Structure 1
Amino acid sequence: MTDPVAKVEVFTLTQPRETPYLGAARPGEEPNAQGYLVRRGNRTVYPIFDRSVLVRLETRNGAVGWGETYGLAAPGAVGAIINDLLASFVIGRDPADPEVIFDDLYDLMRVRGYTGGFYVDALAAIDIALWDIAGQQAGKPVVELLGGVKQDGILAYVSGLPEPTREKRAELALSWQEKGFHAFKFASPVADDGPVAEIEHLRSALGPKALIAADMHWNQTADEALSLIEGMAPYGLWFAEAPVRTEDINALAQVSQSTSQKIAVGEEWRTVWDMRHRIERCRISIVQPEMGHKGITSFMRIGRLAEELGIDVIPHATIGAGIFLAASLQASAALSATRGHEFQHSIFEPNRRLLVGNMDCKAGTYFLSEGPGLGVKPSPEALALLETL
């Protein structure tokens, strides 16, 4: 080891949105003093702004790596975990060993049951930054450290249609179809006339060849989910995402074993163990690893298990500044099972200014950044927005 980690810094990056994520607030969804609103359709909190947590690692010789995780709610929790605990166990370590460091940090809290939530989110940000440095030190993009490119261009599906009516949502989808995008996903909590009416309208607008998925946001019982899925099936449902509460594995087993439609899950999982607990009982067609919750090490363990089992990988990616999206694309390109990747147009397009690098999404395809490590870093404008945690 010639260039160990010497410094760990944690920041939030916050920026306003004209319209909250998933669209304008409905009646009864007024934001509180913290800027949080609760979507009535899934009883889940969202901020009215975009915010993520960024981690900056610097080695003794000045190499810098960036990581990112979620900061939608209570970002101070992630910051405290890193500053009070994880940072001191990262300083002095060799960044060329990200997987070893990941496992060591994960085990720190083993007897306390911290196998998910904020703890692994914090670990994910550090892991991404370590891989970024490892790639820079090797002079290679992260995808090459992971075994090389298996996917030259990755299908991008348009996710979220933040308009107030299904007519407007269909118009928005059509505008992206005209730009060369042919895969879409709508969010059932804001499909005010119900998911069956939503997919019927989208199918009519987009035509028979478009791929259309439904994000059901973990908000149904097994019977309710099955009824909705079978109702959407005649309109060419690409996949049904998160049909039941994530903790109810029995319900997921019932739904997945009782329908021929494709079931997609895994956004909220933190480790490969979350997948192993489900695959023997549930008929999972698609796993959706979310880089911001997992880090590259855990993401790849889930992806490689999916490859072994013949399960498709279509990663999830939502609110962030672009660092964990770049990591997700590097990892996705290294997996032969990757069949697509989420494209959050209402976040990616405004956030182009926050990154230095040539990561791109156009005409329905993602393109990785060139260069060593992640191939991206925060722009001067992004650096000016950072607030220390």
Structure 2
Amino acid sequence: MTMSTKIESVTAFPLTYEFPKGRTVPMGIGNAQKRDVIVVRVTTADGLVGYGESHPGRSPGAVASLIDNTLGPLIKGMDACDVVGVWARVHRMQLASHGLGAASAIALSGIDLALWDIRGKFANMPLYQLLGGTRRRIKAYAGGVAMGYQPPAALAEEAQGHVARGYKAVKLRVGDTVARDIERIRTVRKALGDDIEILVDANTAYTLADVRRVLPALEELRVGWLEEPFACDDFASYRAAAQISHRVPLAAGENHYTRYEFARMLEERAVQIFQPDLSKTGGITETLRIAAAASAWRIPVNPHSSAGGINMAATVQLLAAIDNGGYFEACVSQLNPLRDMFGAPFEIGADGCVEPIDRPGIGLEIDESVFKQFPLIDGLGFS
């Protein structure tokens, strides 16, 4: 008798971890006061259950409502294994016409991850194997919401701690002022030596004038990439910045949605490193398309990681199955229990690498009882 994989229900669980009183994390877009995540559960008529993760989009209640009240009913009754068909239906009814654009891509991302989790469980295969990959080691860098605007010596000490745990690459937050950014990078480079890769992320806080001033120092300090110096739609600045330095590549993609926006980046030829987020750009289904297109242009894919462990575990699975995968962004934030609420989504080795979980689907065992520890606090979460 054939098992029915028809979608029976789609449910969103918006969760929040509020930072302890008096604690914030400064970054280019402001001071973060909390972390949010949206866990998405999809069940089939015969009882298969898959879990995904949607980015909160700084409005977790709105994204959860979109999942529960619009996208879920839209795909109910469809085959959970038909990820292409589900994606096409949501695209037609939300992304292509009179829908909610980026919010729909974010909501669809969590659903798509859950469907791939179901596909893996249905096939009794880990996701990397289902996608055609192998259980190989993936190089990782210490990132997430960490290593920000603290004094240079304290920043160097934090970076050294991550290197001591095995990381061979770290990512620093820039976008404060050019002078202070350069001082911090210089101090960290001196502390870590030449064998550790340093990456930097401006969180869209730079102007083109800032980039003209900072790029010579980034070249001197052998920085691996400059991430998101500008807003995601400021293609003019990206084009201009790409002409300033050919040694420090520009990276972007965490705020670009679907393959269509990445196609625009390919056409502009201004971004040399793509960073799609599986929980934002359209899930695994769409990230595979983005990676394939980027591969034809010899552009590496270094996915951005969202706050929760489902996203991180799925990202490692995908990186083990594409031919142009780069770094895994390992969240090393001290203020993110959402990362580990279902167990560790990754483990860093002495070689600075991680590997995919070798269990069916995405690989995590989801315990919904932990949700009550993280009640939703809706809203922006920045000051």
Q: Return the alpha-carbon distance in structure 2 between the equivalents of residues 19 and 238 of structure 1.
A: 35
The correspondence of residues 1-389 of structure 1 with structure 2, limited to 5 A, is 2-18=4-20, 24=24, 42=28, 44=29, 47-71=32-56, 73-112=58-97, 114=99, 116-149=101-134, 152-159=136-143, 160-162=146-148, 164-189=150-175, 194-260=180-246, 261-294=248-281, 295-320=283-308, 322-346=309-333, 350-351=337-338, 353-356=340-343, 359-363=346-350, 364-379=352-367, 382-385=370-373
- Tell me the CA shift for residue 12 of structure 1: 1.3
Q: Which residue of 2 aligns with 1:31?
A: none
Q: Return the alpha-carbon distance in structure 2 between the equivalents of residues 226 and 269 of structure 1.
A: 24
Q: Which residue of 1 aligns with 2:381?
A: none
Q: What SS is found at the alignment partner of 2:81?
A: coil
Unaligned runs of 5+ in 2: 379-383
Q: 1:15 to 1:343 in 2, by over 3 A?
A: same
TM-score by length of 1: 0.87
Q: Return the alpha-carbon distance in structure 2 between the equivalents of residues 365 and 345 of structure 1.
A: 14
- Tell me the CA shift for residue 268 of structure 1: 1.0
Q: 1:348 to 1:138 in 2, by over 3 A?
A: farther
Q: Return the alpha-carbon distance in structure 2 between the equivalents of residues 380 and 125 of structure 1.
A: 16
Unaligned runs of 5+ in 1: 26-38
- Tell me the CA shift for residue 129 of structure 1: 0.5
Q: Return the alpha-carbon distance in structure 2 between the equivalents of residues 163 and 188 of structure 1.
A: 7
Q: 1:19 to 1:67 in 2, by over 3 A?
A: farther
Q: Return the alpha-carbon distance in structure 1 between the equivalents of residues 285 and 339 of structure 2.
A: 26
Instruction: Work out whether residues 106 and 123 of structure 1, in 8 Å CA contact, stay in contact via their aligned partners in 2.
Output: no
Instruction: Work out whether residues 354 and 381 of structure 1, in 8 Å CA contact, stay in contact via their aligned partners in 2.
Output: no
Q: Return the alpha-carbon distance in structure 2 between the equivalents of residues 199 and 104 of structure 1.
A: 46
Runs of 4+ that moved beyond 6 A: none
TM-score by length of 2: 0.89
- Tell me the CA shift for residue 372 of structure 1: 0.9
Letter aligned with residue 150 of structure 2: P
Q: 1:138 to 1:347 in 2, by over 3 A?
A: farther
Identity fraction in percent: 26
Letter aligned with residue 323 of structure 1: I
What do you get for the CA RMSD once the two structures are aligned?
2.5
Q: What SS is found at the alignment partner of 2:161?
A: helix
Q: What SS is found at the alignment partner of 1:7?
A: strand
Tell me the matched-pair count.
370
